[in-house]
Structure 1
Amino acid sequence: MTVHNVAFEWTETNREWMIENPIRIVLYVVVALVLRFVLHRAIDRATRRPATGESSSRKPALLRHLRERAPSATRSAAVAERRAQRARTIGSVLKSTVSIILLVWVVLSVLAVLGVNIAPFIASAGIVGLAIGFGAQNLVRDFVSGVFMLLEDQYGVGDFVDLGEASGEVESVGLRVTTVRDVDGTLWYVRNGEIVRVGNMSQEYAVARVDLPVALSADLDQAQEVALEAAKEVVGRKPVSDDVLGEPEMLGVQEVSPHQVTLRMTVKTKPNTQWSTQRRLRSAILLAFDEHGVALPLPLGRLIGANGQGE
């Protein structure tokens, strides 16, 4: 037998390992890379809004059918950035999921080509995944809660929220942790899985609620009329007029105590402007009460009568 014949027979015998299997492995890897590239491009297109032209104000395609809580009257660049952040975060999750699925598929396919029995690997992976999921259930809960929070647009960066233990302005929103800075400047790190309820004071509109204490002996009709006229004058001037969405409404007597009567007034405002509107209204109404002789409960009445100021 010649050397040529021996080499030919050896090649025929091992052709599956030398030619066919490597080609199959390369094809699986190429297919996975192509699918990953195509799917990532599709996700990027769905989660990014056009950068130029009139269409730049449009929502990312992924969010067009999701709940949008910001009305057209209050939409701004901040709202657009919040929407873009939601889309980017959701897109990141989708791309990571695609990459993991394709990686697992390639590994299992290569093992099958090499003749390895993948059934034990699948069973072991299921057991390991169950153990990891049980051990990291808090992490999984945080992650799932973060995904649903983004999909439902419960809050975003710049919103003032009450998360139970922490309340303040949202500084960052992640899939696992939300950071909130309170009025004292403390930065709170809140795990998404621990958030039981969310009170958002920055969605759609807000209400400036002003409680006005007057003396028991005061003329309530006069007090309500003076307060309403002062409030209308304030909301008719800038900068308050840019923040309000309606006329002041006097609701009347809210509470009666042995020392005073409390009147309540409300004004519908843009999100995050209710507190500044409340302060301006209180100052103007207290000055108007002093000018028109509306009696205030002691010691507040003595204080204002002594210095002639509404502060």
Structure 2
Amino acid sequence: MSKFPAFLLCSLFSLLLVLSTPHAIAQTAPASNTPTQAAPAAPPTEKLAELLKLLDDPDIRNWIQNRPPASATSEVASEATLEVEDIEAQARSRFRALRAAIPNVPSEIAATAAKVRQQAGEDGFAPGIVLLLGIIAAGAVVEWLFRTRVRKAQFESAILTRAYAEFGPLLVFAFVAALIFLVVEWPPHLRVVILYALLAMIGYRFALGLCRLSLDVGGTSHFYYTRLRIFGAVLAFGIAFWAICRPLGVNPDVRAVITYAFSIVLLLLSMETVWRRPLDRQGNPPTRAGNVLSTLYLVGLWLLWCVNLPGLFWLGIYAIALPKILAATDRLTRAFALTRWNEEKASTLRTVLLVRGVRAVVILIAVGWLALVWRYNPNEIAKESPLLQSIVSGLFKSVIILLLADLAWQIAKTTIDRKLTPDEGEATMTPDEQARRARMRTLLPIFRNGLAVVVLCVAVMTILAEMGVQIGPLIAGAGIFGVAIGFGSQTLVKDIVSGIFYLMDDAFRVGEWIESGSYNGVVESFSLRSIRLRHHRGAVFTVPFGSLGAIRNGSRDWTVDKFRIRVPFKTDINKVGKIAKDIGKQLLEDPELGPHFIKPLKMKGVEQIGEFGIEISFGFTARPTGEQTAIRRRAYTMITQAFAENDISFAQPTFQVGGDEKEAAAAAAMHKHQADLAAQQAAAEDGAKT
């Protein structure tokens, strides 16, 4: 049912908002066709005297006292059978009454209309339809004047401007219509007709205004909006017609037939929408199985309404309609925040309060309506069953507790996320401020996760306490269970405790490069148990805190980078020092690499004299931003170019081998090889002789 159309949800939500009461009235209406049974006549005095004599007989009295009791099972079965038979008889009687009332619907409507016309004519009023059109015309004229005067009204929020254009003229129309209605002294029957007709019209226009706003922000498509207009018109007319029939004395069975007729029309409209709905937001077409299940769900809800089970009916409606309504409400409020405060990501406190506040109002209205449908009365339930009273009261209170917990969590989460978002001016901050923000980005995710657990636990415990559950034993049991888990998972406890001490020591922060044993990389994130390192080649290491050990942090405060170059023995060292100094100045002036220097590149001096040349050391001090490798590569390139321009070469290993000595050494090696072969051959011959 996840693809249940939004139109269907809204339609059923509005359908049963009004039409759930006629059945109770129809079922409680007196059955005029059922004859009343007369009270039985008293028996003669002689028979009563004979009965009393039999009761005084010792044998009769003994039989009565010793008679075996009737079987409890048979009594329960008999009562259940009688209950089923009563239900079947009532249903059959109700069906017959409704079937008999169907032919009387036209005559009842005609008689009611004649009654209204007669009363209006006696009091000197025109027919009701003429008076209603006159009020509508007067309200429309004033509404048109209002539109022409405030047509160019603009607000800071486009949604607010659109809402003003939708509901401002409607309020003017409603005010004018109400003023005319209250000023005139209407006949009783005509007053009822005018009142409910105006209310239905104003309610229909208000619903269409909400639908148009939802259409503007993308919450409703044109397909569903078209169906909503038809559905709303039928619903408004049906509500007004049913409400008018009640005070005018229309037969209850006729009113029930009219109500069922309108409900069937609305059900058919909803089913037509299900089977003809377009593609969803992901572009997937509706499946036949989904359409069949949606249709069965619709029929099931309609049957629940028919048998007068409003509680189950509304729970079924809430299961599918409430999430859609909340999503549309969130979309509207976020669109308002975007156009009013230019806050697209809804990352400010006022946006969170607005979105969650409107959501809480919608949920409270839904819960209040459910309590009204169930006719929830705490005093009466407490008299019947204190346990049931505690459970029901706890369920209603739990909604408020969950709303408060959700609001607290959203406020805390939004505040933490804003702190974690990098600022545009962070690059110009001092090193201390940057370090403080880095430490905050390291600790806040852990605090956010812990806060979520605390809020959830407190909300669950509070709900259980409100429902009458003793939470003291639960807390004690949870403590014992926690100790047992701690002993059974010492490695996990070690990881968590080690992580806490690492964070307290400020050993690393998110974005820093660290090395621990065979693991090294940039800290991406961490949880309560492990840390996540990103290697420079892309690999990701997830290391438990208990396995880290000693940590080498290469991104804290400053870093010194040194490298060596070999030059021939005859190289002018002072000239190399001047070249290094010039290269250091050029690197400082570089717009990309210059800001990362703390001390420029310079020659440290001669480190050692090797076999092939002199080793000269260079070094610089940079900020721990990870750019020291790029600086070293640029320095290598510039030194190579500078040495080539100044005729300075790099030292290379050389070997000198003389020609005569080479020939003598080769001859001596040859003679030695031949002597070895002769000795081996002689030893082999001596062994063969023996």
Q: Tell me the TM-score range normalised by the shorter chain.
A: 0.5 to 0.7
Alpha-carbon displacement from aligned partner over 1:262-308 (angstroms, at most 9, x marks no partner)? 313214246111101101102211332343344643239xxxxxxxx
Q: Which of residues 27, 31, 48 is equivalent to 2:417?
A: 48
Q: CA deviation at 1:95?
A: 1.5
**C-alpha distance 154-169 of structure 1, shift in aligned 2 (>3 A):** closer
- Does residue 264 of structure 1 match 2:599? no
- Does residue 135 of structure 1 match 2:488? yes
User: What is the aligned partner in structure 2 of residue 39 from structure 1?
Assistant: 408
Q: Distance in 1 between matches of 2:517 and 2:428?
A: 26
Letter in 1 for 2:584: A
Q: Distance in 2 between matches of 1:243 and 1:12?
A: 74
Higher relative contact order (CA 8 A, sep 6+): 1
Q: Is the 8 A contact 2:508 2:514 kept in 1?
A: no
User: What is the aligned partner in structure 2 of residue 292 from structure 1?
Assistant: 646
Larger of the two Rg values belongs to structure:
2
Q: Return the TM-score normalized by structure 2.
A: 0.33
CA RMSD of aligned residues (A): 4.4
Aligned partner of residue 485 in structure 2, secondary structure: helix
Q: Which of residues 582, 589, 610 is equivalent to 1:229?
A: 582
User: What is the aligned partner in structure 2 of residue 307 from structure 1?
Assistant: none
User: What is the aligned partner in structure 2 of residue 273 from structure 1?
Assistant: 627
**C-alpha distance 58-285 of structure 1, shift in aligned 2 (>3 A):** closer
User: What is the aligned partner in structure 2 of residue 155 from structure 1?
Assistant: 509
- Does residue 192 of structure 1 match 2:549? no
- Does residue 177 of structure 1 match 2:530? yes
**C-alpha distance 134-174 of structure 1, shift in aligned 2 (>3 A):** same
1:102-141 matched pairs, under 5 angstroms? 102-104=459-461, 106-107=463-464, 109=465, 113=468, 118-119=472-473, 121-141=474-494
User: What is the aligned partner in structure 2 of residue 7 from structure 1?
Assistant: none
Q: How many residue pairs end up in the alignment?
A: 271
Alpha-carbon displacement from aligned partner over 1:13-66 (angstroms, at most 9, x marks no partner)? 8654343x34774587457435523531442243132899xx96699xxxxxxx
User: What is the aligned partner in structure 2 of residue 96 from structure 1?
Assistant: 453
Alpha-carbon displacement from aligned partner over 1:79-98 (angstroms, at most 9, x marks no partner)? 98996686355323311222
Letter in 2 for 1:265: G
Q: Is the 8 A contact 1:245 1:268 kept in 2?
A: yes
Alpha-carbon displacement from aligned partner over 1:134-172 (angstroms, at most 9, x marks no partner)? 223333443455566667482224x43323321133444
Letter in 1 for 2:550: R
**C-alpha distance 139-100 of structure 1, shift in aligned 2 (>3 A):** farther
1:203-242 matched pairs, under 5 angstroms? 203-241=556-594
**C-alpha distance 200-293 of structure 1, shift in aligned 2 (>3 A):** same
Q: Distance in 2 between matches of 1:295 and 1:178?
A: 48
Alpha-carbon displacement from aligned partner over 1:85-125 (angstroms, at most 9, x marks no partner)? 86355323311222124424544x368x45x6954x55543
Q: Mark the runs of 5 or more structure 1 residues left unpaired by the alignment.
A: 1-10, 60-69, 301-311
**C-alpha distance 13-24 of structure 1, shift in aligned 2 (>3 A):** closer
Letter in 2 for 1:264: F
Aligned partner of residue 178 in structure 1, secondary structure: strand
Q: CA deviation at 1:208?
A: 3.8
Q: Distance in 2 between matches of 1:118 and 1:238?
A: 65
Q: Which has the higher helix share?
A: 2
User: What is the aligned partner in structure 1 of residue 605 from structure 2?
Assistant: 252
Aligned partner of residue 600 in structure 2, secondary structure: coil
User: What is the aligned partner in structure 2 of residue 17 from structure 1?
Assistant: 387
**C-alpha distance 186-58 of structure 1, shift in aligned 2 (>3 A):** closer
Q: Is the 8 A contact 2:441 2:510 kept in 1?
A: no
**C-alpha distance 16-256 of structure 1, shift in aligned 2 (>3 A):** farther
Aligned partner of residue 92 in structure 1, secondary structure: helix
**C-alpha distance 25-89 of structure 1, shift in aligned 2 (>3 A):** same
User: What is the aligned partner in structure 1 of residue 554 from structure 2?
Assistant: 201
Q: Is the 8 A contact 2:580 2:602 kept in 1?
A: no
User: What is the aligned partner in structure 2 of residue 167 from structure 1?
Assistant: 520
Q: Return the TM-score normalized by structure 1.
A: 0.65
Q: Distance in 1 between matches of 2:610 and 2:545?
A: 42
1:66-105 matched pairs, under 5 angstroms? 72=429, 87-104=444-461
Aligned partner of residue 48 in structure 1, secondary structure: helix
Letter in 2 for 1:139: L
Q: Distance in 2 between matches of 1:233 and 1:185?
A: 33
Q: Which has the higher strand share?
A: 1
**C-alpha distance 49-204 of structure 1, shift in aligned 2 (>3 A):** farther
Identity %: 22
Q: CA deviation at 1:202?
A: 3.5
